[in-house]
Amino acid sequence: SAVADLSVMNIESLSQAAIYALRRLNPSDIAALPDVAEGLENAICSACRESSGFAELTMNIKSKRYTLSRIRRICINALLGITKSDYARHLLPEYIRVLGARREALPLIGEMAEKASLPLVACRADYDKLSESAKAAFDKDIFAAETAQLNGKAISEFKRKFIIV
C-alpha cells in the first residue's frame, strides 16, 4: 500500500544542511526566525560553529529556558528560510491540501471543493487558481517537502500519487 511506503523524516538526516543554514546567517538574521528572542540568536550563532551534528547542536543550545522542541523548530525554520514576517503574513491557512482519503470518503472531496471557504488543492490545476499569497505559502510547503528529500531524488508534490486507504 502507499501508506507503507511513507516514512517519517529523521531530522538527523538533514543535520549538515541545518548547520549550514544556521552558519550562513548572522545574529540579526537568526533573530528574525520564529521563536528566537531574549538573545537566543547569540547562543545559536556560537553553537552552530562549535557543533558537527544536529544532536550536538541542539544539546549545546538546550537549557531550562530553551527547550529542545523550540530549538528544533528554530533550526527547521532556518533551513526552510521561514521568518517571523512569513508567520505574520500567513497567520491563517490560505488553502486546503488534500493528500489522500479513505475510499469511502472520496465523494466528499468534491463536496468539500464546492463548500469549503478555502480553495482545495489536489492537483496542479488547483494550484494555478490560488491567489498570489496562497501560492507563496504553497511554494514554502513544496520547498519543505523537497528539503525533506535532500538525501534522495526530490519527487514533485504534483507527481505523488493520491493516497487511498
Q: Is residue 1 included in any domain, yes or no?
A: no
SS3 90: coil
Sheet strands (E) in 11-153: 96-97, 100-101, 120-121
The DSSP annotation for 97-117 comes to E--EE-GGGHHHHHHHHHH-S
Same domain, 16 and 77: yes
Domain encompassing residue 158: 90-164
Tell me the residue type at 165: V
For the entire predicted model, the pTM comes to 0.78
Tell me the residue type at 7: S
Same domain, 32 and 94: no
How many structural domains is the chain composed of? 2
Same domain, 106 and 154: yes
Of 82, 117, 137, the domain-final residue: 82
Of 60, 82, 104, the domain-final residue: 82
Nearest to 13 by CA among 149, 142, 144, 156: 149
pLDDT, tens digit only, all 165 positions of the chain: 333 344 445 667 788 899 999 999 999 999 999 999 999 999 999 999 999 888 999 999 999 999 999 999 999 999 999 999 988 888 889 999 988 888 998 888 889 888 999 999 988 889 999 999 999 999 998 898 888 888 777 777 777 777 788
Same domain, 48 and 113: no
Same domain, 110 and 147: yes
Strand 120-121 relative to strand 100-101, pairing: unpaired
Same domain, 118 and 145: yes
The C-alpha atoms of residue 74 and residue 68 are separated, in whole angstroms, by: 10
Same domain, 16 and 59: yes
- Cα 11–Cα 12–Cα 14 angle in degrees, nearest 5: 70
Same domain, 64 and 105: no
Same domain, 52 and 106: no
Quote the pLDDT of residue 4.
39
Nearest to 120 by CA among 79, 129, 62: 129
Quote the pLDDT of residue 3.
39
DSSP 14: G
Same domain, 18 and 46: yes
Of 82, 112, 132, the domain-final residue: 82
C-alpha cell of 66? Answer: 530553551
Same domain, 36 and 68: yes
Q: Is residue 31 included in any domain, yes or no?
A: yes
